[in-house]
Amino acid sequence: EFADKYADADLSNPQDSQDLISILMDGLYIEPHMSLAMPFSLDTKLAIAKERATVEKITTLRFLGTPPYKYNPANYRNTNRRIRIGYVSADFRLKATSYLLRYFFLHHDPNLFEVYLFSVQPDSEDALKFEIGADWRKDISESVEHFVDLSQVDPVSRIAFIHDLYKIDILVNMDGYSNNGLRDDNVFQVQSAPIQMSMLVYIGTMGADYIQYIVTDPIASPIGYEK
């Protein structure tokens, strides 16, 4: 229906807000991840992402019954220890993400950084590992100091682990708006770490006030569109 209705529409023109309003009024819900492959302008894609981020954050905060954490930049980190970086993903298993990252974590200077991987999904089945002849979860878990399986942990406890127990300084969202139904957005929406960023799997902006940085390139994020 979308293809038929908008087949002749020029959705890449500057009428971003009108495009989005028309879509919403027609009762169509556009996933941010799906919008990346559609002929929307960058501003329209940003608007779609912002709407998703706002709705999900409000829902999460109501569910948890607590406001986001706040930090004082002057004293939020203990400078007597290494910087703790936490990577959160639903793909620390036999997924392309793990294949790409098998050696990535080895390039963190251990004198400066303490690396944590937080897996929010269980490992792949042994039969699949045998069939493919690989165990990428094992490879990446052995490349870092801390691999934490949170797949069986409830949302509130996950936040407590990251914020209270491990006291992560930089939290990296490696799912973005991909892995719908598998990823964990809650830990980011409450600002579990002072600095939060996205990278790799979802190549667009998340349009979220709780994601302060993005690891990207000039192709996915053209120069001049910083906001």
The token pair at 24 is 């919403």
Residue 88, C-beta contacts closer than 8 angstroms, at least 6 positions apart: 118, 120, 171, 172, 173, 174, 175, 184, 187, 188
Look-up of token digits 């269980």: 122
Amino acid identity of 109? D
Nearest-angstrom CA–CA distance, 119 and 141: 10
The closest of 3, 2, 14 to 40, measured between CA atoms, is 14
Q: Is 107 a catalytic residue?
A: no
* Cα-based distances in Å from 14 to 10, 20, 40, 143: 10, 11, 10, 46
Spatial contact of 101 and 119, defined as CB atoms under 8 Å apart = no
Catalytic choice (33, 107, 108, 146)? 33
What are the residues facing 195 on neighbouring strands? Answer: 170
DSSP state letters, 18-35: HHHHHHHHTT----HHHH
Six-digit token pair at 217? 């390139």
Q: How far apart are CA 46 and CA 32, in angstroms?
A: 8
The catalytic residue positions are 33
